[in-house]
Chains A and B, each alone.
Chain A
Amino acid sequence: MSSHREAPGISQDPVADSTDLYAFVSPERPDVVTIIANYVPLQGPAGGPNFYSFGDDVLYEINIDNTGSGTPDITYQFQFNTEIANPGYFLYNTGQILSIDSPNWNLKQFYSVTRVDSSGSTVLGSGLPCPPCNVGPRSIPNYGSLAQAAVQTMGHGQRVFCGQRAEGFYVDLGAIFDLGDLRPFQNLQLIPSKAQPGVNTTATVNVHSIAIQVPIRDLTADGKVPTSVTDPNAVIGVWTTASRQAASVMGRTPAESTTAGPWSQVSRLGNPLINEVIIGIGDKDNWNSQSPADDSQFESYYTSPVLGALLPVLYPNVFPNLASISGPRSDLVAILLSGIPSGIIPGFQNYTGGTLADELRLNLAIPPSKSPNILGILGGDLAGFPNGRRVFDDVATIELRAVAGLTYSLVDSSYTPDAAAGAIYDLENPNSNGSPSGLASIGENYRPDFPYLSNPHSGYYQDVPA
């Protein structure tokens, strides 16, 4: 998955487990950037009576690097607290929830938002309500309008939403973790079987989203809205982290339990799938604890990706040119660790300098695409991944193709990618239909406006045949 349960340690701590990160210039508000950090993976919608929530003892952060240092110049902090209305009652709700402040909602969660930058800390909002989880139509008959009431404004054009959403990331987990199988091409696999359509394993699960919209001028180093793609101040790097306090003590009763000490980072996410399929399993939890500024220690995983060596083995005779690459994968280093310099892709750059740092880099001078392609830059759409990431971008296919050698010619003009590198995909063939609307066929639908990810799947309807 993008970063769901990607490391042994964090897989045991779902509320602190970052799953996906998105950053893009907002299509309906092009002077504003939307950043979405998802946590709490693979939620079965019917998972009550204690439905999912953020961790009250977790510090969630969205970090912005606008100087290329690999360290945050701006951080948005999110902290949550849960309130129980009726401790004597045993269910999530004591009746219908018809409003965001319904007294029938027994287990509410609220949060604060704090911006930290060179001028200090500023509380942007506190006591902000999360929406309830989507229990079912009897409990919450008008879920959509109720959840939209949880979109909060914080002044200066900033908006925020924290709560349950439908998973927007799509992938065939069952196949990919079965020795790197891709169902549409499994007739070519080392252990072949009849080719089949991919299965979107995440089509019916939910996540918890921390979504914020911030004016571009509030994120750039010079406080301006960049108009030139080549403006060095046009590029920001984004990553999310979750931290827990150094000590957690279980008392004899919950009232005696305590946490104390500084915050220790336990989860990190910039580019999708990095800790998942690039970093070695022995380093994954360590990677989660590190700052992007220190990512040069992991460079060899990028220059010699294990997946790149496995593909020719798992798909015999399909990737002969990939198998012949002997040099370092400088293309992956550029795409994922430094940004792509000017002069490589016409009309594009997201280079942030010599510091190797896993950040989701976004060139803010590139406007939203009127005809987005889920392959992003590989599909000729400069407003998509790896220029930031939109909710519908097919990052699994993009990164699979990149690792398969499709982008190696960016750094070695004599290299000819294998034809398969431009043909493989995970679920739906983006070469046939690159439109986000085509993803409806695999169960993925998105909102056209904030917070872009759809209403969460209902517990009542989980696994009910259509």
Chain B
Amino acid sequence: MNELSRRSFLKQSGATAAAAGALVVAPKALSRGTSSTKRPTAAAASRATSKTSKTSKSANRALVAHVPDVRKDEVRILIGEREVILHDRALVSRLARAAD
């Protein structure tokens, strides 16, 4: 290719959540350490997933509990393709103590 000069070039036509989190994994269910916990009295919220797939790759029974901030009362339960949000200060405290 010929080197273009600046002149010829110019002439060419122009067509014209930053909080520290805690992650707890319970392969079967919430650990036995929480089994004596009363059912949450605080409002338990579950939210629909924004996306669901027909064939879940998590058809096993594993469950993940995510505590975004151990100073607060929120526990996010992840199972299958769902997320259930609990507000349970006692549960958060118990999980935090178990992790100490």
Contact = CB atoms under 8 A, between A and B. Distances in A.
Interface of A: 56-57, 59, 61, 77, 79, 81, 112, 114, 121, 123, 126, 184-185, 187-188, 194-197, 243, 245-247, 249, 256, 258-263, 265, 317-318, 378-379, 406, 409, 417-423, 431
B54 A114 contact: yes
B58 A258 contact: yes
Contacts of A420: 9-10, 12, 14
Given A260-B62, A263-B50, A420-B12, 17 more contacts: A59-B53, A79-B54, A184-B1, A184-B4, A187-B4, A188-B4, A259-B57, A260-B63, A261-B76, A262-B50, A263-B81, A265-B51, A318-B9, A406-B14, A417-B14, A419-B14, A420-B14
A188 B6 contact: yes
A423 B13 contact: yes
B53 A79 contact: yes
Contact of B10 (A56, A262, A409, A419): A419
Main secondary structure of the interface of B (DSSP, over half): loop
B54 A112 contact: yes
B81 A422 contact: no
B54 A419 contact: no
Nearest to A430: B15
A423 B57 CA distance: 50
B49 to A, nearest CB: 4
A243 B52 CA distance: 11
Contact of A260 (B13, B14, B16, B80): B80
B13 A419 contact: yes
B30 to A, nearest CB: 13
B73 interface: no
Contacts of A423: 9, 12-14
Given A79-B54, A256-B27, A185 B4 contact: yes
Contacts, number: 129
A406 B79 contact: no
A195 B1 CA distance: 8
A243 B83 contact: no
Contacts of B54: 77, 79, 112, 114, 121, 123
Nearest to B66: A247
Nearest to B49: A262
Contact of A422 (B12, B62, B78): B12
Contacts of A406: 14-16
Contacts of B5: 187
Contact of A245 (B1, B6, B13, B81): B81
25 contacts: A79-B55, A79-B57, A81-B57, A112-B54, A112-B55, A114-B54, A187-B4, A187-B5, A245-B78, A246-B83, A247-B23, A258-B62, A259-B58, A260-B64, A260-B80, A261-B79, A262-B50, A262-B83, A263-B49, A263-B51, A263-B81, A419-B9, A419-B10, A422-B12, A423-B13
